């Protein structure tokens, strides 16, 4: 068993000094929001996350979700924790006040989501999926649909799901076959969906499924796909729950991790056909999905940060307690806690630096979403939206890869005990492993970054990012503080490497060698961007150190962690750019039959 303590000081630091919380609270639509109020919100959320949600994590892993006579039972305590979560008003954080939400910035919502995911990844998926469904209904639902579903989904009285995947349609959503036939004012849905997270559970009386399906005469591929809202229990015109809809869970998957999150095979229309209501227009389902994709991918990227944080906390606690070996330098005979060994410290610092780096990236992108939404001019809006679109696949893929690495390293810190389930380190490692897979595999993210976000605009968005990094790098190199100087020297080199890799891809434009460079390219963008944002934090930390105050240790640690990242991680930018530029050809040439 391990405890979770929300890293509130660090979160606030990143929000204020890296993401620009100060700018957001000035925006008119956030009313009287202040950094102090945000601090209070994080403080109280941290209590719920640490006191209620986190303690269920291990039991949830052991017990798992179970299917009994068509009913999914979540593990002991989950239902009650969900009730507390919803009663506390934590489900509706970023949504408009007029629909019963709290109207807070995505940045704040993002920090809170990190807490829930750190505390208990399986638990956190339910509200995450609900959030995605709310986004869709809000953006594209009719007034009547909004009225019928939104308030109770925002309050958390009902939850939401996303139904894309079918056995033959995973990364290629266009291959889906679920059918939707018009029947008066609604459609009848028939087909099977797989891997549906929280497709069935015992938290609430109703579940609102967002389902992609094909109308009979629709063209093949993604243009033939429409989006439907399919409630588990039909809702009468007066808002009361009516008949059970023709949708049921067929089975639950046995998984490597996130055992407490029910992953369902869903069967639509076994009898009469499931009643579904078309959202927007026919044939535009995929287009609509894209509007919630950024939020959903940010949410999953954050899972990488969250699990890294949790694994880090556990590893540090263990390293302070475990006595083994002697101090290599002092010559003292007394055995020491393993945190004294430089190699263990290296592991801990790696996890910490990677966690802080990906947190900075996720919060920066969340704030960029708020900035795009609250922009005063079209130019400003486009600028921020471009930044969001460029970095979303990076948040998703870079951070979730980091989550797996971090959980693995944290397990390593435990030695043999790490391999023993009771310790709990193994659960983080298993749980972390889903995030690079779902919500678009990391391979698909890399292709998105390469194709849609880089080649399509001939590197314009990328170039704008690199230019900003270069300005900060030049400024930092002139600093009198040796930490800041070193960080920005490495950053300048990374920016140069990134620019070179980008040019190489844009020049070649297509071919298997280009596609094979997508993943190392994403990693490179991730490194340079996180290094840049940690550098920004380091500059702020140095300033705050000079100003004094009672958080000296935090600032000192921020500076040193950023330097560690520059010296141990950013230096990989240059070799990575060579991988992007040169190494794709071998992959392209290697004959299929040689595998």
Ligand X SMILES: Cc1cc2nc3c(=O)[nH]c(=O)nc-3n(C[C@H](O)[C@H](O)[C@H](O)COP(=O)(O)OP(=O)(O)OC[C@H]3O[C@@H](n4cnc5c(N)ncnc54)[C@H](O)[C@@H]3O)c2cc1C
The residue at minimum Cβ distance from ligand X is 170
* Cβ(277)–Cβ(125) below 8 Å: no
φ/ψ of residue 368, rounded to 5: -65, -35
Report what 422 binds from other proteins, ligand X, none; CB cut-off 5-8 Å by kind. none
C-alpha triplet 350, 356, 358: angle, nearest 5°: 100
Is the CB of 221 or the CB of 335 nearer to ligand X?
221
* Smallest gap from residue 192 Cβ to ligand X (A): 12
How far is the CA of 410 from the CAs of 352, 382, 402, 404, 539, in angstroms?
Answer: 10, 40, 12, 10, 29
Report what 441 binds from other proteins, ligand X, none; CB cut-off 5-8 Å by kind. ligand X
Point out which span in 200-208, 272-280, 357-365, 547-555 binds other proteins (CB under 8 A): 547-555
Q: Which residue has the tokens 């890293």?
A: 7
Helices and strands per DSSP (H, E), number in the chain: 21, 14
Is the CB of 197 or the CB of 454 nearer to ligand X?
197
Question: How does DSSP classify residue 480?
Answer: S
Q: Does residue number 29 form part of the binding site for other proteins (CB under 8 A)? A: no
Instruction: Work out which of 21, 93, 230, 505 binds other proteins, going by CB under 8 A.
Output: 93
Spatial neighbors of 244 by CB under 8 A, at least 6 apart, are 232, 233, 234
Q: How far apart are CA 93 and CA 116, in angstroms?
A: 13
Taking residues 101 to 120 in sequence order and writing x for each that binds other proteins by CB under 8 A, - otherwise, the string is: -x------------------
Report what 577 binds from other proteins, ligand X, none; CB cut-off 5-8 Å by kind. none
Instruction: Work out which of 78, 90, 149, 158 binds other proteins, going by CB under 8 A.
Output: 90
Report what 39 binds from other proteins, ligand X, none; CB cut-off 5-8 Å by kind. other proteins
Nearest to 583 by CA among 507, 519, 492, 493: 519
Q: Does residue number 89 form part of the binding site for other proteins (CB under 8 A)? A: yes
Query: 592: buried, middle or exposed (CB in 10 Å: 19+, 13-18, 0-12)?
Result: exposed
Spatial neighbors of 26 by CB under 8 A, at least 6 apart, are none
Instruction: Work out which of 88, 220, 221, 511 binds other proteins, going by CB under 8 A.
Output: 88
Q: How far apart are CA 258 and CA 125, in angstroms?
A: 9
Is the CB of 5 or the CB of 171 nearer to ligand X?
171
Q: Does residue number 40 form part of the binding site for other proteins (CB under 8 A)? A: yes
| Contact positions with other proteins (CB under 8 A) in 47-76 | 47-48, 51-52
Point out which span in 84-92, 297-305, 446-454, 502-510 binds other proteins (CB under 8 A): 84-92
Q: Does residue number 339 form part of the binding site for other proteins (CB under 8 A)? A: no
Helix (H, G, I), strand (E, B) or coil at 324: strand
Distance, first Cα to last Cα, the chain: 43
* Smallest gap from residue 58 Cβ to other proteins (A): 18
Report what 88 binds from other proteins, ligand X, none; CB cut-off 5-8 Å by kind. other proteins
Report what 117 binds from other proteins, ligand X, none; CB cut-off 5-8 Å by kind. none
Q: Does residue number 77 form part of the binding site for other proteins (CB under 8 A)? A: no
Catalytic residue among 10, 200, 439, 493: 439
Is the CB of 193 or the CB of 371 nearer to ligand X?
193
Q: Does residue number 87 form part of the binding site for other proteins (CB under 8 A)? A: yes
* Cβ(170)–Cβ(258) below 8 Å: no
Nearest to 574 by CA among 516, 498, 508: 498
Is the CB of 112 or the CB of 449 nearer to other proteins?
112
Catalytic residue at 439? Answer: yes
Q: How many CB atoms lie within 10 A of CB 167?
A: 13
Is the CB of 22 or the CB of 51 nearer to other proteins?
51
Is the CB of 77 or the CB of 283 nearer to other proteins?
77
* Smallest gap from residue 50 Cβ to other proteins (A): 8
3-state secondary structure 392-412: HHHHHHHHHHHHHHHHHHHHH
* Smallest gap from residue 568 Cβ to other proteins (A): 25
Q: Does residue number 544 form part of the binding site for other proteins (CB under 8 A)? A: no
Tokens (6 digits) for 120: 């208990």
Tokens (6 digits) for 271: 């009898």
Q: Does residue number 155 form part of the binding site for other proteins (CB under 8 A)? A: no
Is the CB of 23 or the CB of 172 nearer to ligand X?
172
How far is the CA of 86 from the CAs of 71, 128, 133, 198, 414, in angstroms?
Answer: 22, 13, 17, 16, 36
* Smallest gap from residue 550 Cβ to other proteins (A): 6
Residues that bind ligand X (CB under 6 A): 162-165, 170-171, 195-197, 255, 263, 434, 437-441, 443-444, 447
Spatial neighbors of 108 by CB under 8 A, at least 6 apart, are 15, 38, 41, 42, 93, 94
Which residue ranges make up the site for other proteins (CB under 8 A)?
3, 5, 32, 34, 36-37, 39-41, 43-45, 47-48, 51-52, 84, 87-90, 93, 102, 550-554
Q: Which residues are part of the catalytic machinery?
A: 439
């Amino acid at each position: 068993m391990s405890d979770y303590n929300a890293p509130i000081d660090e979160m606030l630091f990143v929000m204020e000094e890296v993401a620009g919380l100060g700018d957001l609270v000035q925006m008119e639509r956030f009313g009287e929001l202040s950094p102090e109020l945000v601090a209070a919100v994080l403080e109280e959320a941290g209590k719920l996350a640490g006191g209620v949600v986190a303690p269920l994590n291990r039991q949830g892993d052991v017990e798992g979700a179970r299917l009994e006579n068509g009913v999914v039972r979540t593990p002991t305590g989950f239902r009650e924790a969900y009730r507390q979560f919803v009663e506390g008003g934590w489900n509706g954080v970023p949504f408009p006040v007029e629909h019963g939400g709290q109207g807070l910035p995505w940045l704040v919502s993002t920090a809170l989501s990190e807490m829930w995911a750190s505390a208990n990844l399986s638990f956190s998926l339910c509200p995450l999926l609900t959030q995605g469904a709310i986004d869709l209904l809000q953006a594209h639902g009719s007034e009547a649909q909004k009225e019928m579903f939104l308030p109770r989904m925002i309050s958390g009285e009902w939850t939401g799901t996303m139904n894309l995947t079918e056995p033959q349609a995973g990364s290629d959503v266009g291959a889906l076959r679920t059918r939707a036939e018009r029947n008066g004012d609604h459609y009848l849905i028939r087909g099977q969906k797989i891997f549906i997270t929280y497709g069935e559970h015992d938290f609430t009386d109703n579940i609102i499924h967002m389902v992609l399906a094909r109308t009979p005469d629709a063209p093949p591929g993604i243009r033939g796909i429409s989006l439907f809202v399919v409630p588990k229990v039909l809702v009468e015109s007066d808002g009361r729950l009516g008949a059970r809809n023709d949708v049921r869970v067929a089975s639950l998957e046995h998984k490597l991790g996130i055992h407490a999150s029910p992953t369902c095979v869903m069967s639509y229309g076994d009898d009469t056909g499931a009643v579904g209501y078309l959202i927007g227009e026919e044939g535009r389902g995929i287009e609509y999905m894209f509007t919630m994709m950024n939020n959903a991918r940010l949410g999953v990227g954050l899972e990488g940060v969250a699990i890294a944080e949790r694994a880090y906390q556990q590893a540090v606690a263990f390293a302070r307690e475990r006595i083994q070996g002697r101090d290599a330098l002092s010559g003292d005979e007394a055995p020491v806690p393993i945190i004294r060994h430089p190699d263990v410290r290296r592991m801990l610092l790696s996890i910490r630096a990677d966690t802080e780096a990906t947190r900075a990236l996720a919060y920066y992108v969340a704030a960029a979403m708020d900035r795009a939404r609250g922009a005063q001019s079209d130019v400003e809006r486009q600028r921020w939206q471009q930044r969001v679109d460029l970095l979303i696949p990076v948040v998703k893929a870079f951070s979730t890869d980091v989550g797996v690495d971090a959980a693995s390293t944290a397990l390593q810190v435990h030695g043999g005990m790490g391999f023993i389930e009771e310790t709990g380190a193994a659960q983080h490692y298993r749980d972390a492993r889903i995030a690079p897979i779902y919500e678009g595999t990391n391979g698909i993210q890399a292709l998105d970054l390469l194709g849609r976000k880089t080649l399509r605009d001939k590197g314009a968005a990328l170039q704008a990012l690199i230019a900003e990094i270069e300005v900060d790098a030049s400024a930092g190199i002139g600093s009198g503080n040796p930490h800041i100087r070193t960080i920005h020297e490495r950053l300048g080199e990374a920016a140069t490497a990134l620019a070179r890799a980008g040019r190489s891809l844009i020049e070649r434009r297509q071919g298997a060698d280009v596609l094979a460079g997508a993943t190392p390219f994403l990693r490179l963008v991730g490194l340079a961007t996180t290094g840049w944002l940690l550098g920004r934090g380091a500059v702020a930390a140095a300033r705050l150190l000079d100003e004094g105050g009672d958080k000296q240790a935090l600032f000192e640690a921020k500076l040193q962690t950023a330097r560690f990242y520059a010296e141990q991680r950013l230096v990989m930018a240059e070799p990575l750019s060579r991988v992007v530029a040169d190494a794709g050809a071998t992959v392209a040439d290697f004959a299929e039959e040689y595998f």
